[in-house]
Amino acid sequence: MNVRLNLFQSTMLCWRDLYPYSAVHVVQVRSPLDAARLDRVTSLYLAQLGFTSLDLDRRRRRYTWRDGAEAVNVRLIAGAGDALAVVREEIERQLNTAFPPDGHIHPFRFFAVAAGSEFHLGVAYDHFIAAGDSIARLLSGIVVRYAGAPRTPVERLDPPAIGYARLFRRQAVPLVKGLAAVPAIMLRNRRSFRPHLAVPEDGRNAFVSFRLDENDDARMRRVAQQWNATRNDLFIALLLKALSPFAIGRRRAERRTLLAVASIVNIRRDFGPGAEHALGPMLASFQIAHPVPDGIDMRTLVETVSGETSRIKRDKLYLQTLLALPIAGTRWRFLSPQRRYRFFARHHPVWAGTTPMNVTALWAEAGLPGSPPEYVRGVSTGPHTPMIVALSSSGAVTHAGISYRTTVFEHSAVERVVSDVLSGIRNLR
């Protein structure tokens, strides 16, 4: 099937020209690892979906999925004493391993980490071909087939990427109304303090993660409800406070006095009927910028963040970020390689981004039996954001996978961010 690259996919390929740009999902499988069975189930399911391999033609802005079955060999990794530590190491390795730039591509790299009576099934994928929720559905299909479930958990995943022209037609009214907010968005960017890129050409990502258990997760849900906020609002506020000490230079700045954190928005519903089955990415984003003064209490900060995110969602202002993509794409063609490495950092001055995913809801939508498995994700930072926090809620727990650029953050700094976020969560009242 021949597919034309959509707006967001074309932008992702620009990022991918600079550094590896992929994502990694890992799902818990509550069964012993049988390597031969896993290879067989995975190969058959991908063949049924038509997702074995593709040919990318960058010049013509198209890619074609190949028909027919191809054997999938899932990479087997011993879990040793700490399977999750091995999972984190493999996620980091995969994030720094590029897919071919053009031509014939196998866009999925599967691996499995043994953990006694169960195992962790992971997949690294070339991010331009799929959205995170689509990959979660794909993995759920493999998991239930491996477990021998008789029914198909996902009715279909369609290979074509839906064009953004359809979105712009359907959302013409909020897009036009939202233009009034563009001057304020531009002013915010000019006032946001930039992270320092020690070596812009160095795109290496490191990866850490932490788990919120039932008590932590319940606390966040309760406080979010009491403060009329979402859990993503809480995480944005927690990140703003945790990152504030590393952006201390804004205290001395005359103009760039704000600290900005972004969040990815899944805009599948904005595309209308049929989009729910599409494999390709349907994403937008928004930013929250705040001075984060010393001593600000968490509730005040969360209420400010929540008020801003509520306005953004109500007026669909996240769509305005999409209008910047073709402008950036046009400028991109005329930039030297050296300037490309600095382009997004210069015009997108954020310190971190969140990308939340509700695995529980996806599991329920697919009609899958039992409680949803635990789920960990890592997402390439690319050139636009030095830290990505992938939040995966599953049942009563949440895993936060943090990928970060080592040219911006040292490991000790990220450990401090994690510690401050966890402390902030456990001090919520």
Q: Which amino acid is at 398?
A: T
The better pLDDT of the pair 158, 398 is held by 398
Give the C-alpha separation, 383 to 385, whole Å.
Answer: 6
> What distances in angstroms separate CA 3 from CA 33, 45, 109, one per listed residue?
36, 21, 21
**7-18 vs 320-332: helix crossing angle, rounded to 10:** 50
Residue with tokens 């099937």: 1
Q: Nearest 5°: CA angle at 102, between 100 and 106?
A: 50
pLDDT for 22 beyond 90: yes
Give the confidence band of 156 by pLDDT, cuts at 50, 70, 90: low
H or E stretch covering 287:
strand 283-290
| pLDDT confidence of residue 203 | 95
Give the C-alpha separation, 200 to 193, whole Å.
Answer: 17
The count of residues in the chain is 429
Residue with tokens 């997949």: 123
Domain with CATH 3.30.559.10 in the chain: 2-146
Q: Are 102 and 64 in contact (CB under 8 A)?
A: no
Q: Are 132 and 138 in contact (CB under 8 A)?
A: no
Q: Are 342 and 182 in contact (CB under 8 A)?
A: no
Topology of the domain covering 2-146: Chloramphenicol Acetyltransferase (3.30.559)
Give the C-alpha separation, 222 to 235, whole Å.
Answer: 14
pLDDT for 7 beyond 60: yes
Comparing 5-19, 197-211, 367-381, 414-428, the range with the smallest average pLDDT is 367-381
Name residues whose C-beta falls within 8 Å of residue 410's C-beta, 6 or more positions apart in sequence: none
| pLDDT confidence of residue 152 | 55
Domain with CATH 3.30.559.30 in the chain: 164-426
Residue with tokens 């809480």: 234
pTM for the model stands at: 0.95
Which neighbouring-strand residues pair with 119?
A: 29, 114
**Nearest CA to 365 among 162, 217, 148, 156?**
156
Query: Which DSSP letter does residue 406 get?
Result: T
pLDDT digits 0-9 by tens, 43-91? 999 998 888 899 999 999 999 998 777 889 999 999 878 999 999 999 9
Task: Just give the CATH number of 164-426.
Answer: 3.30.559.30
Give the C-alpha separation, 428 to 426, whole Å.
Answer: 6
